[in-house]
Amino acid sequence: MTAFEKSTCTSRSHWLCVLFLLLPAATVAAQEPEWWNDLQIHGFLSQGYVDSSDNSFYGDSEQGSFDFREIGLNASFRFSPRWLVSAQLLSRKAGEMSEGGLNLDYGLVDLTVLSDEYRRVGLVAGRFKNPIGLYNDTRDVPFTRPSVFLPQSVYWDKLRDIMLSNDGAQLYGEFYRGRHGLSLQLGVGNPPIDDNLEWAYLGYDWPGSVESDSPGFVGRALYELDDGRLRLALSGITTTMAYRPAEVDPLVAGSIDIDYFVGSFQYNGENWSLTAEYMQEPVRWSGFEDVVRDRRNTADGAYLQGTYRPLPDWELLLRYDAAFHDKTDRDGERQGDEKGLPAHLFYSHTWTFGLTWSPNEHIMLRGQYDRVDGTAFLSNEENPNPFATVRNWYMFSLLLSVGF
């Protein structure tokens, strides 16, 4: 039993392995089967707490909210060096933005066509994570993020469904020469989407539904020096959503074209990292006639983030993040005048101070303080009355996470 357990479980998956192994322990032979080496199971569980001076983010945060929970479990099996299958189940509770139901985060088959020390070329089919920016592919995994919440200017939580994943196929190629690496990904597919997008793009949960109309594209080109000391990337997604009205519906059928582009920079020293990303999102509404005006608009945003690890278990973070609903009206005055709403709804400037303690690979405790001017990244669904939002506010959050 001991030899078997040791030989089949990575340290990260120990707890689950113990559970797994208690069951068949009586029936297995002492000799480990070779294929056990090619099965991996990993997971994580996190609980957050958010307390804000005003406004609601991840639940009723003015009263202190525990409505932030992430639970994920994944398994992968490498049939041969060429074939990998993998899937992850995710339950995510994020205030009104995410209900905590169980979702298939990804489920895919990966065929490596070519692999040597200079390149790896292959094809992924199924539901795959969108390679956008530096963090989107693993955005719900607490210890792959730098902070409790990702910088909202680039990783809007209220738009996460459209960025998250695609059902389709993706080609990838990784090419290496000495210290230099280039990784290219190009995917085509339909994003699985839900009500948050109606709130975000149509301002309300209308009787009909928003659907992904035709396949969209996603791609990333990433250059790495020394396997990640310097990382430079350009990535983007383009997609079209159609609104299908219900039988009785004030809104007629229309479509929304969304593009999303991110430029990324990161430098990793031994004890510190510097990261900056810029996002631009051109959106076009058409066919809605009067209720939702046909128009074009480009949102943008950027952040600059530094992290420093003074001791192996501790990491400090400082970040400035700015997000704008319309890049031609960054102070929100014009949009506010046009709609008769407060200007602060259309921008946000956020200073973030973070502290992370992780005594080992399995446990992480993180605290964060956000000082915010503006409310652009808040969800309308969580803050239905725009006149009740407060321009200058702050937020304290905690996140405890375990992984294996």
Rounded to 5 degrees, φ, ψ at 3 are -65, -40
Q: What is the smallest separation between the CB atom of 331 and other proteins, expressed in angstroms?
A: 37
The widest CA-to-CA distance across the chain, in whole angstroms, is 75
Do residues 167 and 183 lie in contact, with contact meaning Cβ atoms separated by under 8 Å? no
307 within 8 A of 271, measured Cβ to Cβ: no
Q: How far is the CB of 356 from other proteins (least distance, A)?
A: 12
Residue closer to other proteins (CB basis): 154 or 200: 154
**Least distance in angstroms from the C-beta of 35 to other proteins:** 10
Smallest gap from residue 79 Cβ to other proteins (A): 10
Cβ atoms of 62 and 393 within 8 Å: the answer is no
Residue (7 or 392) nearer to other proteins, CB: 7
Nearer to other proteins, 57 or 106 (CB): 106
Query: Closer CB to other proteins, residue 268 or residue 298?
Result: 268
How far apart are CB 219 and other proteins at their closest, in Å?
Answer: 15
Smallest gap from Cβ 138 to other proteins, in A, equals: 4
Instruction: For the CB of residue 97, give the shortest distance to other proteins in the complex, in Å.
Output: 21
**Minimum Å distance from CB 373 to other proteins?**
32
Spacing of C-alpha 314 from chain mean position: 24
Closest C-alpha among 23, 60, 2 to residue 388: 60
Q: How far is the CB of 399 from other proteins (least distance, A)?
A: 16
- Number of continuous H segments (helices) and E segments (strands) in the chain: 5, 16
**Footprint of other proteins (CB under 8 A):** 6-7, 10-12, 32, 34, 37-38, 40, 42, 72, 74, 76, 78, 80-82, 84, 86-88, 106-108, 110, 112, 115-118, 120, 124, 128-129, 131, 137-138, 141, 143-144, 172, 174, 176, 178, 226-229, 268, 270, 309, 312, 360-361
Q: How far is CA 368 from the centre of its chain?
A: 18
Which of 242, 270, 272, 273 has its CA nearest to residue 257?
A: 242
Q: Are 165 and 128 in contact (CB under 8 A)?
A: yes
Residue 170, SS3 per DSSP? strand
H helices present in 107-194, as ranges: 160-164
- With respect to other proteins, which residue has the nearer C-beta, 86 or 380? 86
- First and final CA of the chain: distance in angstroms? 21
- For residue 197, the one-letter residue type is L
Is the Cβ of residue 360 or residue 385 nearer to other proteins in the bound state?
360
> Which residue(s) pair with 185 in the sheet?
172, 220
Q: Give whichever of 63 and 80 is closer to other proteins, judged by the CB atom.
A: 80
Name the residue nearer to other proteins (CB basis): 136 or 350: 136
User: What is the DSSP-derived secondary structure letter of residue 28?
Assistant: S
Q: In one letter, which amino acid is 131?
A: P
Q: Please, which residue, 224 or 381, has the CB nearer to other proteins? A: 224
Phi/psi of residue 8, nearest 5 degrees: -110, -10
